[in-house]
């Protein structure tokens, strides 16, 4: 049983150098995050064999058993949905993939006889994912599969990616410049800058690396694994429990284990506990690290039980309340995003 | 009514078209995909027959294919027959003459294909050859259709090259354009007129049919 996948690629294209040598878990989703031009796509193309690299893998593209989901679905316009999905299946028979199972997973039953040219963006991307699953890949590469879709259409595809994550054992490398997608989908995180991997590790701890510019600004935030405690029908709130306490989240959730994303901008601090606040979730925490930002603000890393949060506060408040490492505070959490 | 020359022209056009599609498609594919610095050179050579007068092409083909020529001499040694003033010689000459008309439509169609679409096919387990036949070719049908129409029509209408290489041997090299010219030379305007009308009608029917098919495809 292979438990890690070794990625070792180096490419020189004009002024751009890609130099990657990391190993990633052979299960779950590995997110690759970075600015455009940081080499994310080039890395995927090297893995797939679409780009010449110094890797030891000399097999031609079609013998690699690596699925590739492109930003645009790249469906074959002369074939209908069924034939598109069967394209990979026919070329990789006897691998025990169930066409019906894949179609069910992506809920494409009603679209099979449609021409590939008559699909919405979200439907087309679902078909392209089904097509890749049917080839029974050992590894799936996804290159910004949602980037070409508008916000509403993203929600047509994201639930299926969640489902794929939960039900499939095929490892996925997911490239995106959108931190929300990365936090929602990945278990492991690689951060790329200028052709190099600047950080890699499990999602939660990598997000805590406050000094990385890729994780600054709007992207700063934490992810917490939590379990369902109970639902309060009177106020339509669900209570989740994690190592640092309990969190109320609006709405009803059925899943036992969830992932909560809390952005740094949604966390504020008080030194004394307050009962007279409209904020639902106020949790005791200890300041674990502080990192200055350019301008008025700074980031604080807070420890709550075994988990961490990130808060963005002004340097002025920090000075006034004398917020230093080791100080006990109360984190007021304004908003939580839930991933089932 | 003499159908011989027209039938010979049609045979020549069909065979030339088939040869040009089979040989022209790989050439068009290479021209559309290669990064080679020789691409513009090959592209220019392929386009030459468009600019050159048929007499220039015909002259050099005559020299090359003739029994004293490199290729023609070798052919005589191999088969005992001369290529010049033979039907096979006409086919070779027509292929050279109509080459750009077959290559260019196919090349444009191949160039319009999305590179990523082909890459998708490769990553799904298709070899490059497989991807050509299963993705590139079906998506380039209009290019192939254009190549067929143009090479067929161009071969049917050629005169100069045929005259230089094939001469005027009834049943062998006396194609319809030569026959018409012959009738005019001998002031037999009636026969020239009949053959010409026949050719006009036939050309129209073929082109109309092709474009009708093309139009249907578009509305599929």
CATH code, domain with A36: 3.40.50.300
Sheet strands side by side (includes A297-304): A267-270, A328-333, A281-292, A297-304, A307-314
- State whether A231 and A323 are in the same domain: yes
Domain contains A216: no
- State whether A81 and A42 are in the same domain: yes
Read off the tokens for A131: 């097509």
Instruction: For chain A, say whether B120 makes contact (Cβ under 8 Å).
Output: yes
Is the C-alpha dihedral spanning B177, B181, B183, B189 positive or negative? positive
- State whether A185 and A227 are in the same domain: no
- State whether A92 and A143 are in the same domain: yes
Q: What is the pLDDT of residue B220?
A: 45
- State whether A38 and A175 are in the same domain: yes
Q: What is the pLDDT of residue B71?
A: 83
Confidence check: pLDDT of B9 > 90? no
Comparing A67 with B203, the larger pLDDT belongs to A67
- State whether A95 and A185 are in the same domain: yes
Q: What is the pLDDT of residue B47?
A: 92
Mean pLDDT of B34-53: 91
Q: What is the pLDDT of residue A191?
A: 93
Residues lower than pLDDT 70 in chain A: 1-2, 340
Domain contains A214: no
Domain contains A317: yes
- A74: nearest CB among B116, B128, B134: B116
As a whole number of angstroms, the distance between CA B7 and CA B87 comes to 13
CATH of the domain at A306: 2.40.50.100
Q: What is the pLDDT of residue A1?
A: 52
pLDDT, tens digit, for every residue of A288-330? 999 888 888 999 999 999 999 999 999 999 889 888 898 999 9
Contact between B49 and B158 (Cβ < 8 Å): no
Contact between A84 and A132 (Cβ < 8 Å): no
A152, A172, A207: which is the final residue of a domain? Answer: A207
Domain contains A215: no
**DSSP code for A272:** S
Domain contains A118: yes
pLDDT above 90 covers a percentage of chain B that reads 37
Q: How far is A302 from chain B (nearest CA, A)?
A: 44
Nearest Cα residue to B194 out of B5, B1, B4: B1
A207, A231, A250: which is the final residue of a domain? Answer: A207
Binary contact (B125, A88; C-beta < 8 A):
yes
As a whole number of angstroms, the distance between CA B121 and CA B139 comes to 13
- State whether A165 and A18 are in the same domain: yes
B120 to chain A: which residues are within 8 Å by CB?
68, 70, 74, 76, 128
Contact between A191 and A214 (Cβ < 8 Å): yes
Q: What is the pLDDT of residue A44?
A: 93
Binary contact (B126, A91; C-beta < 8 A):
yes
- State whether A167 and A199 are in the same domain: yes
For B50, the 3-state DSSP assignment is helix
A207, A239, A265: which is the final residue of a domain? Answer: A207
Local confidence band at B73 (pLDDT 50, 70, 90 cut-offs):
confident
Q: What is the pLDDT of residue A340?
A: 61
As a whole number of angstroms, the distance between CA B177 and CA B199 comes to 9
- State whether A83 and A124 are in the same domain: yes
Binary contact (A78, B124; C-beta < 8 A):
no
Q: What is the pLDDT of residue A312?
A: 92
Q: What's the number of domains chain A is made of? A: 2
Which value, to the nearest 10 degrees, does the dihedral of the CA atoms of residues A124, A128, A134, A139 take? -150
- State whether A115 and A33 are in the same domain: yes
Contact between A204 and A47 (Cβ < 8 Å): no
- State whether A155 and A232 are in the same domain: no
Comparing B47 with B80, the larger pLDDT belongs to B47
Domains of chain B: 4-219 (1.10.3720.10)
Confidence check: pLDDT of B170 > 80? no
User: Domain range spanning residue A240?
Assistant: 221-339
Instruction: Tell me whether strands A267-270 and A16-25 are parallel, antiparallel or unpaired.
Output: unpaired
As a whole number of angstroms, the distance between CA A33 and CA A11 comes to 19
Helical H segments across A49-178, by residue range? 81-91, 99-105, 121-134, 151-167
Binary contact (A68, B123; C-beta < 8 A):
yes
Q: What is the pLDDT of residue B30?
A: 95
pLDDT, tens digit, for every residue of B107-125? 999 999 999 999 999 999 9
3-state secondary structure A217-240: HHHCEEEEEEEEEEEECCCCEEEE
- List Cβ neighbours of A21 (8 Å cut-off, separation of 6 or more): A7, A8, A9, A197
Domain contains A213: no
Q: What is the pLDDT of residue A310?
A: 93
Domain contains A230: yes
B130 to chain A: which residues are within 8 Å by CB?
62, 91
- State whether A192 and A323 are in the same domain: no
In chain A the beta strands, taken as DSSP E runs, fall at: 4-13, 16-25, 29-33, 66-69, 139-143, 172-176, 188-193, 196-202, 221-232, 237-242, 245-250, 257-263, 267-270, 281-292, 297-304, 307-314, 328-333, 337-339
Main-chain dihedrals φ then ψ at residue A146, nearest 5 degrees: -105, -5
Q: How far is A315 from chain B (nearest CA, A)?
A: 49
pLDDT, tens digit, for every residue of A55-86? 777 888 888 889 999 999 999 999 999 999 99
Nearest Cα residue to A69 out of A140, A151, A150, A154: A140
Local confidence band at B27 (pLDDT 50, 70, 90 cut-offs):
very high
Which B positions 75-94 lie with beta carbon below 8 A of chain A?
none
Q: Name the packing angle between helices B70-79 and B54-65 (round to 10°).
A: 40
Q: How far is A40 from chain B (nearest CA, A)?
A: 17
Q: What residues does A261 pair with on adjacent strands?
A: A223, A337
**DSSP code for A62:** G
Confidence check: pLDDT of B134 > 60? yes
Domain contains A150: yes
Q: Name the packing angle between helices B141-156 and B189-219 (round to 10°).
A: 180
The DSSP H or E segment spanning A47 is: helix A40-48
């Amino acid at each position: 049983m292979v438990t890690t996948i070794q990625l070792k690629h180096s490419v020189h294209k004009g002024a751009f150098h890609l130099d990657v040598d990391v190993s990633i878990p052979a299960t779950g989703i590995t997110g690759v995050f970075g600015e455009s031009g940081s080499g994310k796509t080039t890395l995927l193309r090297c893995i797939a064999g679409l780009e010449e690299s110094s890797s030891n893998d000399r097999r031609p593209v079609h013998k690699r058993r690596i699925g590739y989901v492109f930003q645009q679905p790249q469906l074959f316009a002369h074939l209908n949905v069924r034939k598109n999905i069967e394209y990979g299946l026919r070329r990789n028979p006897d691998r025990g993939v169930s066409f019906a199972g894949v179609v069910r997973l992506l809920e494409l039953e009603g679209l099979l006889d449609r021409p590939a040219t008559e699909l919405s963006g979200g439907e087309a991307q679902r078909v392209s994912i089904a097509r890749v699953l049917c080839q029974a890949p050992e590894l799936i590469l996804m290159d910004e599969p949602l980037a070409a879709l508008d916000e509403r259409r993203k929600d047509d595809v994201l639930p299926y990616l969640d489902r794929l994550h939960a039900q499939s054992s095929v490892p996925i490398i997911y490239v995106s410049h959108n931190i929300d997608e990365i936090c929602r989908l990945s278990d492991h995180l690689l951060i790329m800058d200028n052709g190099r991997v600047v950080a890699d590790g499990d999602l939660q701890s990598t997000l805590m690396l406050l000094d990385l510019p890729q994780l600054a600004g709007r992207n700063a935030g934490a992810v917490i694994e939590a379990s369902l405690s109970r639902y309060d029908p009177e106020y339509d709130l669900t209570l989740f429990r994690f190592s640092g306490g309990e969190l109320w989240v609006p709405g009803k959730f059925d899943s036992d284990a969830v992932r909560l994303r809390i952005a740094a901008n949604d966390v504020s601090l008080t030194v004394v506990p307050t009962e007279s606040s409209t904020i639902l979730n106020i949790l005791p925490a200890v300041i674990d690290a502080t990192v200055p930002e350019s301008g008025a603000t700074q980031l604080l890393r807070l420890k709550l039980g075994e988990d961490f949060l990130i808060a963005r506060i002004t340097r002025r408040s920090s000075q006034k309340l004398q917020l230093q490492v080791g100080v006990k505070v109360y984190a007021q959490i304004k908003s939580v995003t839930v991933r089932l | 009514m003499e159908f011989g020359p027209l039938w010979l022209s049609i045979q020549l056009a069909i065979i030339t078209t088939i040869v040009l599609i089979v040989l022209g498609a790989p050439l068009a594919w290479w021209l559309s995909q290669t990064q080679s610095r020789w691409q513009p050179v090959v592209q220019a050579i392929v386009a030459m027959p468009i600019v050159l007068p048929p007499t220039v092409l015909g002259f050099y083909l005559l020299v090359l294919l003739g029994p004293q020529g490199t290729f023609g001499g070798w052919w005589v040694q191999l088969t005992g027959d001369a290529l010049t003033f033979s039907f096979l010689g006409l086919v070779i000459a027509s292929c050279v003459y109509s080459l750009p008309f077959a290559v260019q439509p196919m090349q444009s169609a191949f160039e319009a294909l999305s590179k990523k679409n082909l890459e998708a096919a490769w990553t799904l387990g298709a070899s490059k050859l497989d991807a050509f036949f299963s993705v590139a070719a079906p998506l380039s049908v209009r290019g192939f259709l254009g190549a067929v129409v143009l090479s067929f029509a161009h071969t049917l209408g050629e005169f100069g090259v045929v005259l230089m290489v094939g001469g005027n041997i009834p049943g062998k090299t006396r194609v319809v354009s030569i026959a018409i010219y012959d009738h005019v030379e001998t002031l037999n305007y009636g026969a020239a007129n009949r053959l010409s009308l026949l050719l006009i009608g036939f050309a129209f029917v073929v082109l109309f049919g092709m474009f009708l098919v093309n139009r249907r495809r578009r509305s599929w």
